[in-house]
Amino acid sequence: MGSTANSSKSAARNYLTGDFDELAILTEHRFNFISVPDTCIFISLLLSAMASADLRAEMECSVCLNIYTDPVMLRCGDNFCRVCIDRVLDTQEGSGGYFCPVCREKFTNRPALHRNITLRNIMENFLSAQLDQEESGVFCTHCVDFPVPAVRSCLHCEVSLCDKHLRVHKKSPEHILTDLPLPMERRKCSIHKKILEYYCTEDDTCICVSCHLAGEHRGHQVETLDKASEKKKETLRNVLQKLLTKRKETEEKVQSLQEHRRKVEEKAAGDTERVTALFRDLRRRLEDLEKRVLRDISGRAERISISIRDLEIKKEELSRKMRHIEELCNMTDPLTVLQESDTGDLCDTEDGDNEDRERHEELLHDGGGLDVAGVLHTGLSDIITEVNEYFPIQEAADILMASNELQISYDRKTTSGSYLDQNHPETPERSQDDSQVLSSQSFYSGRHYWDVDVGGSDEWVVGMCYSSIERRGRKSEIGENNKSWGLDRSGNQYIVIHDSEEIHLPTNLSSNRVRIYLDYEAGRISFYDLCDPIQHLHTFTTTFTEPLHAGFNVLKGCIKIFGGEM
């Protein structure tokens, strides 16, 4: 029976290799020389081999003899690669007709190519299965005639099993089956060729019993593979939990930035409309200013011309009066001279002479030109003032964000330390423990500044912080965390601080006024001493990820926000 079984397997192999002569000899007389069990083995192997061989044959293009690439079908039912059949039909063009290169069916016109979706899906599944087999490299130990991927391994028998042989394998406890069908050589000690059963915790490696008892790991602390595996899984679960936490934080940051982007886009839409209207208005105002300046320039000569004309008229009038007086003086009849009325009005009044003289002097000593720079400065200043109507200054501080240890002035511009509870309304955003106030307005784009008079206190911190800054404890103070940046004065010492890291400034302030400057897109927070000239103190540079608030901390005395713009 053993010889006939081997003959059965040989017959199946011959079918695969194409040795049909030997196959015919072995299978003649309708398997009369093969026992029934061996006949079943032969038929099973033969059918499997035929199925595999036939499937691959069905997926080979008859033109290029390779697996189909984008299979298409002619009307006759034969399949080809799209590129292959296109080339064949191109060569037939001009010959008076077309024909299928397999069945030779003729077509009057160039046949249409129909995409064979079914064949394409079968081909992709076949290639995927072939690729999986090649990548795993682990096949069933009992399938000797053709490779079948293994799904599990038996450590006791040292074999790998496919689905079929797994169903008939022994189920006793000593036959330990593993989920991952690793090649058996990877499960054996490279030195003693025995199954790896232990894990050396000192050398972090898997070992066999001989390594543990007599090898280089003798006396080392070892664990069973299951125990060591569970420990590693526990470590991996902890790592997974940390990764989940980080992913959640990342998702929250993404959501925060998405919300921030939405607000920026909404603000950008409004700003775009206002900027468009602003520049339209600016162009109109500049055109009006240009016309006014040009009108003033040309008007100066015109005013002089008017003065000349008035003086010419006055000169003619004076000449007429002079002639009349001369006639009176030349008269010999005294009665006629004395009877001439209103002789006192022949001369202008002194006031009129003074007015003409002042006007004449003004026109002569004006330099002959217009103060264009002065006119432009006045006109442009008026325009800039009106620009603020389009982009008004934001409120820098608001009582809604102030600590109960701070007293806020009625105009919300002055903040001072207080030992009395101010009973501000309870809100989650307000600082609870520190003498600190934040602006209710958050800033997520643009350039802004706040000018602060700090002369009323010698212990203060001013700066910027994220909306998510802590509201209680020391970590809620500006500069004592990674969410805020501050300029700090304590006595005669001045420092800039971020995430509790201090930088001492080399000089003290020359004035009692400081400026906080924010450029959100550039990622800069700068501090200036508002002396004459302005002195730069320090600049923090980073990438902002959240909206920012202006922050002010007063331990005693008071500070006042007196200026700022966007």
Whole-number pLDDT of residue 322: 87
pLDDT digits (tens, 9 = 90+) for 424-441: 444 444 444 457 888 878
Over 60: is that where the pLDDT of 361 sits? yes
Whole-number pLDDT of residue 118: 84
Mean pLDDT of 164-191: 73
pLDDT digits (tens, 9 = 90+) for 401-411: 444 444 444 44
Per the model's pLDDT, the better-predicted residue between 414 and 60 turns out to be: 60
Whole-number pLDDT of residue 135: 52
In percent, the amount of the chain with pLDDT more than 70 equals 71
**Which residues, 6+ apart, have CB-to-CB distance to 506 below 8 Å?**
none
Over 60: is that where the pLDDT of 132 sits? no
Whole-number pLDDT of residue 400: 39
Write the single-letter amino acid at 53. A
Q: How many residues does the chain have?
A: 566
Token pair, residue 490, equals 């304590």
In percent, the amount of the chain with pLDDT more than 90 equals 22
Token pair, residue 200, equals 């050396």
Mean pLDDT of 44-58: 54
Question: Mapped to the 3 state alphabet, what secondary structure does 115-139 carry?
Answer: ECHHHHHHHHHHHHHHHHHHHHCCE
- Identify the band that residue 233 occupies on the pLDDT scale cut at 50, 70 and 90: very high
- Average pLDDT of the chain is 76
- Identify the band that residue 299 occupies on the pLDDT scale cut at 50, 70 and 90: confident
Whole-number pLDDT of residue 123: 79
Q: Strands 106-107 and 98-99: what pairing?
A: antiparallel
At the topology level, CATH places domain 399-565 in Jelly Rolls (2.60.120)
Whole-number pLDDT of residue 416: 53
Mean pLDDT of 108-125: 86
- Identify the band that residue 15 occupies on the pLDDT scale cut at 50, 70 and 90: very low
- In degrees, to the nearest 5, what angle opens at C-alpha 352 toward C-alphas 346 and 357? 120
- Mean pLDDT check: name the lowest of 41-45, 140-144, 243-247, 372-376: 41-45
CA distances (Å), origin 230, targets 224, 236, 240, 341: 10, 10, 15, 136
Q: What is the Cα gyration radius of the chain?
A: 51
- Mean pLDDT check: name the lowest of 148-152, 156-160, 256-260, 430-434: 430-434
Mean pLDDT of 98-106: 92
- Identify the band that residue 362 occupies on the pLDDT scale cut at 50, 70 and 90: low
Q: How far apart are alpha carbons 338 and 533 in whole angstroms?
A: 79
Whole-number pLDDT of residue 43: 46
Question: Mapped to the 3 state alphabet, what secondary structure does 17-75 carry?
Answer: HCCHHHHHHHHHHHHCCCCHHHHHHHHHHHHHHHHHHHHHHHCECCCCCCECCCEEECC
CA distances (Å), origin 511, targets 453, 455, 488: 9, 8, 15
Per the model's pLDDT, the better-predicted residue between 66 and 136 turns out to be: 66
Whole-number pLDDT of residue 429: 46
pLDDT digits (tens, 9 = 90+) for 505-548: 987 888 889 999 999 999 999 999 988 788 889 999 999 999 99
Whole-number pLDDT of residue 369: 56
Whole-number pLDDT of residue 468: 86
Q: Do 363 and 303 meet the contact criterion of CB atoms below 8 Å apart? A: yes
Whole-number pLDDT of residue 241: 93
- Identify the band that residue 214 occupies on the pLDDT scale cut at 50, 70 and 90: confident
pLDDT digits (tens, 9 = 90+) for 493-509: 899 999 999 999 987 88
Contacts 24+ apart (CB under 8 A), 43-52: 45/8, 45/9, 45/12, 45/145, 46/11, 46/12, 46/15, 48/12, 48/146, 49/12, 49/13, 49/15, 49/16, 49/145, 49/146, 50/15, 52/146
Q: Strands 447-453 and 459-466: what pairing?
A: unpaired
Over 70: is that where the pLDDT of 332 sits? yes
